[in-house]
Amino acid sequence: MATELVAARQMVRLAASKLDAGHDDATTYCAMAKRFATDVGFEVCNQALQLHGGYGYIREYPLERLLRDARVHQILEGTNEIMRVIIARRMLQDDATDLVR
């Protein structure tokens, strides 16, 4: 879980640096980072819930809120399905080969 979180953070930082620098592919990288980070965040919370069992649903434990927050971020600011469409459109463009190099 820790490895996945570090990878997600790095992707968000890469997207932010591209956005700050005004790169043409910043939108695509932001869509990738949003999709990846929110999916990883939800999956990590879900795995933590498995570890905690029924206690993960009790409001006294922070995991209950983390799980709800992680799930809602998959929907807010464009669903992850829309992020996939944005990424796919970029990949289908002629110069998309630069994206995966």
The radius of gyration of the chain from alpha carbons, rounded to an integer in Å, stands at: 16
Q: Which helix (H) or strand (E) holds 88?
A: helix 80-92
For 20, 25, 60, 62, 74, the CA distances from 5, given in Å and listed in that order, are 22, 23, 24, 18, 15
Q: Which residues are catalytic?
A: 77
Sign of the CA dihedral 67, 69, 72, 73?
A: negative
